[in-house]
Amino acid sequence: MTIRKRRCAPVLEPVAGNGLLDRRALLGRGIMFAGAVSTGVSSSPTTAAAEPLRDDPWSLETGSITPALQTPSRFEKDVVRILSNPNGEPRTSHARTPHHLLNGTITPNSLHFTINHSGIPDIDPAKHRLVIHGMVKQPLVFTVDSLARYPMVSRMAFVECAGNSAGMFSPQPLQASVQALHGLVSNAEWTGVPLSTLLEETGIDPKATWIIAEGADSLALSRSFPLKKALDDAMVALYQNGERIMPGNGYPMRLLLPGWEGNMHVKFLRRLKLTDQPGMTYFETRTYSQILPNGKAYRFYFVNEVKSFITHPSFGQALKEPGYYEISGIAYSGNGRVAKVLVSADGGKSWAQAALQEPVQSKAFTRFRVPWRWDGQPAILQSRAWDEAGNVQPLRTQFVAERGEAAKVPNVFGFASQHYNSLTSWAIDNKGEIKHVYA
Amino acid sequence: MSMLKTTSPLLLALALASHPAIAEPPGLGKPVSEAEIKAWDISILPDGTGLPAGSGTAEQGAKVYAEKCVACHGEGGKGGINAPLVGAPPIKSIDATKTVANFWGYSTTVFDHVRRAMPWKTPRTLTDDEVYALTAYILAQNKIIGDNDVMNAQTLPKVKMPNADNFIIKFPDKI
């Protein structure tokens, strides 16, 4: 009966090669997909309906005790971060977000990526202090409790390691999941005190132009950022998705510099010093400066530029049969809102505009989606994003011409270079297996 | 918001002024003197601002290195389980190893990083003289200064690093 009702709805034809359908199919009710009646319904017989439905054991007994702190179902045990240094050797530890196993735009706190250069400090919030000093009128010290009494703001923001997607600098495409390749970016709602509020209280020496931020970790990790950013949208964040910040993300407080490279969002924040010059710290002049093909290097890249990648389907998620799938992924820009995402299923020959999930927020994840009918033939999936400032994700040839490729194939957890924001291509063969390719 | 539209500008101004979150900061920061912050104020700026009293030479640094650094950074700073401190392999690709001699732009960064972050297991336990000595040792082993040069607050910022002029500010308008 429902089929008859649907026949009245407009039928949407493919809008780009290899079966990409019109995004409007996702937006309104009563719109049907071309071919759904003739092939789709009949080609996807569901065996579940053929089996008798009955009560399983869990439906016939009282469930478990309600825990104070809930955790995901035991059936979701594979939804975890992958670790670069599980045994805590004396080096940096990365934990990458499993984007292919998540949906929507919010990264659960337990799955937010972390990079810790010298372990996670066990900070007693009652003893933690934040000092603001240097070129100010009055140096001030704040406790966690005193900051929690300030007027707060909440905003969505992605945090992305400058080295996220570094494996994409490999001269050959690494056969690795979206988690391994792009797992060093996550998105959360951050709540805290605008840094401008605190600087209003300390006063600012008119000659100050930079702030050096420092953490309470054993490295006293230190990064400099322009005062201009501090007065724009910087925040001293206390909460992450509604709860206190995770230890690995900077408990009890971190600097948030929306849209800028993750290392600058100094965690365990204990000191902000206003100066008239950058500190030229280890992490800004060594680690997070990028060597260019001509031997020079970028310094103070700061912004994570417009980027997108497809999470569903992606490497490791084989398609079981031809038919309907939703292609979806994540887009974001450190320069503002995502304006448009195009998706290709034929390696960039033709493109379909993706639906953007509202609300589209500045410097935050935007989920994009395109309906797709896979015909069982080889396909290459790509996404390409534009932001409201008019920036576009560079094609790989353009990107490599400027930034170069690594001389040797790197470890997937390595950092050949940083600030990769070109395209990611997933090639699907006629068996539905997905490989990572450059296209 | 609808209330704002129907309220006279004068009343609106009064309403905002009486709202502490908008009119003035809460004033919960406790005044503190720079003297009280001194133990935490370890930032060294590239012009030498913040460098403490004290001094050291490469010879003195070699002894400290052998005791406190060699386990991770290897004999003579050639690298071990952690990064080499000595050596300047030419930068021939974007994934070249970045070393003090082939990449770092500022000599002050050596002092700043060693003092704040090293040794790995016992950071901020070195004396300022030891940090100057280690800085001298690393710079001398890399032939950036002479074996007998003394590093202190005056000499260190004047040391020009070989790669200093090879950096490009990516987005000058953001600064």
Least Cα separation, residue A399 to chain B (angstroms)? 13
State the maximum Cα–Cα separation within chain A, in Å, rounded to a whole number: 77
Topology (CATH level 3) of domain A307-437: Immunoglobulin-like (2.60.40)
**Partner residue opposite B45 with nearest CB, options A131, A277, A295:** A277
**Partner residue opposite B98 with nearest CB, options A212, A281, A286:** A286
Other CB atoms within a 10 A radius of the CB of residue A205 amount to 14
For the stretch A149-208, pLDDT in tens is: 999 999 999 999 999 999 999 999 999 999 999 999 999 999 999 999 999 999 999 999
Summary mean pLDDT of chain A: 93
Rounded to whole angstroms, what are the CA distances from A240 to A112, A146, A158, A185, B96? Answer: 10, 18, 11, 15, 37
For the stretch A277-295, pLDDT in tens is: 999 999 999 999 999 999 9
Does A271 lie at the interface with B, CB-CB under 8 angstroms? yes
Q: Report the DSSP beta bridge partners of residue B106.
A: B160
| Cβ-count burial A11-37 (b if 16+ within 10 Å, e if not) | ebebbbbbbbbbbebbeeeebbbbbbe
Q: State which residue of chain B sits closest to A410, comparing Cα positions.
A: B95
Domain range summary for chain B, segments of one domain joined by +: 2-34, 43-165
Phi, psi of A351 (to 5 degrees): -135, 145
Note whether B94 contacts A298, CB cutoff 8 Å. Answer: no
Note whether A228 contacts B174, CB cutoff 8 Å. Answer: yes
Distance, in Å, from the CA atom of A386 to the CA atom of A399, rounded to the nearest integer, reads 15
Geometric angle at alpha carbon B101, from B170 and B109, rounded to 5°:
65
Q: State which residue of chain A sits closest to B35, comparing Cα positions.
A: A139
Other CB atoms within a 10 A radius of the CB of residue A420 amount to 24
Query: What pLDDT is stored for residue A32 in this prediction?
Result: 56
Query: What pLDDT is stored for residue B23 in this prediction?
Result: 55
A33 neighbors A370 (Cβ within 8 angstroms): no
**pLDDT of B166 above 90:** yes
**Sign, CA torsion A204/A205/A210/A213:** negative
For the stretch A408-432, pLDDT in tens is: 999 999 999 999 999 999 999 999 9
Query: Which residues in chain B have Cβ-Cβ distances shorter than 8 Å to A290?
Result: 94
Residue B105, exposed/middle/buried by CB under 10 A (0-12, 13-18, 19+)?
Answer: buried
Query: What pLDDT is stored for residue A50 in this prediction?
Result: 73
Query: What pLDDT is stored for residue A51 in this prediction?
Result: 84
Distance, in Å, from the CA atom of A210 to the CA atom of A229, rounded to the nearest integer, reads 9
Domain range summary for chain A, segments of one domain joined by +: 129-164+186-298, 307-437
Distance, in Å, from the CA atom of B32 to the CA atom of A93, rounded to the nearest integer, reads 35
Note whether B109 contacts A270, CB cutoff 8 Å. Answer: no
Q: Closest Cα partner for B133 from B51, B63, B44? A: B63
Query: Which residues in chain B have Cβ-Cβ distances shorter than 8 Å to A200?
Result: 25
| Structure ipTM | 0.90
Does A279 lie at the interface with B, CB-CB under 8 angstroms? yes
Query: Which residues in chain A have Cβ-Cβ distances shorter than 8 Å to B72?
Result: 90
Residue range A129-164+186-298 in CATH 3.90.420.10:
yes
Q: Closest Cα partner for A351 from A338, A360, A341? A: A341
Interface test with A, best of B22, B24, B37 (most A CBs within 10 A): B37
3-state secondary structure of A123: coil
For the stretch B97-130, pLDDT in tens is: 999 999 999 999 999 999 999 999 999 999 999 9
Least Cα separation, residue A43 to chain B (angstroms)? 49
The encoded tokens of residue A251 equal 């408990």
Residue B114, exposed/middle/buried by CB under 10 A (0-12, 13-18, 19+)?
Answer: buried
Phi, psi of A58 (to 5 degrees): -65, -15
Find the mean pLDDT for residues A20-34: 71
Note if the bond before A86 is cis, omega within 30 degrees.
no
**Partner residue opposite A275 with nearest CB, options B45, B81, B93:** B45
**Partner residue opposite A133 with nearest CB, options B37, B47, B72:** B37
Query: Which residues in chain B have Cβ-Cβ distances shorter than 8 Å to A404?
Result: 93-94
**Partner residue opposite B29 with nearest CB, options A142, A407, A410:** A142
Q: State which residue of chain A sits closest to B43, comparing Cα positions.
A: A279
Q: Kindly write down the DSSP assignment for every residue of chain B, as one continuous string.
A: -HHHHHS-HHHHHHHHHT-HHHHS----PEE--HHHHTTT-----TT-TTPPS-EE-HHHHHHHHHHHTHHHH-GGGS-SSS--SS------STTPPP-TTTT--BHHHHHHHHHHH-SSSSTT-S-HHHHHHHHHHHHHHTTSS-TTPPEETTTGGGPBPTTTT-EEES-GGG-
Q: State which residue of chain A sits closest to B31, comparing Cα positions.
A: A140
**Partner residue opposite A301 with nearest CB, options B37, B82, B170:** B170
Calculated CA dihedral for residues B34, B38, B42, B43, nearest 10 degrees: 10
Out of 3.40.50.300, 1.10.760.10, 3.30.230.10, 2.170.190.11, which CATH number does the structure's domain B43-165 have?
1.10.760.10
**Partner residue opposite B94 with nearest CB, options A151, A285, A416:** A416
Least Cα separation, residue A301 to chain B (angstroms)? 5
Instruction: Note the pTM of the prediction, 2 decimals.
Output: 0.92
Least Cα separation, residue A203 to chain B (angstroms)? 11
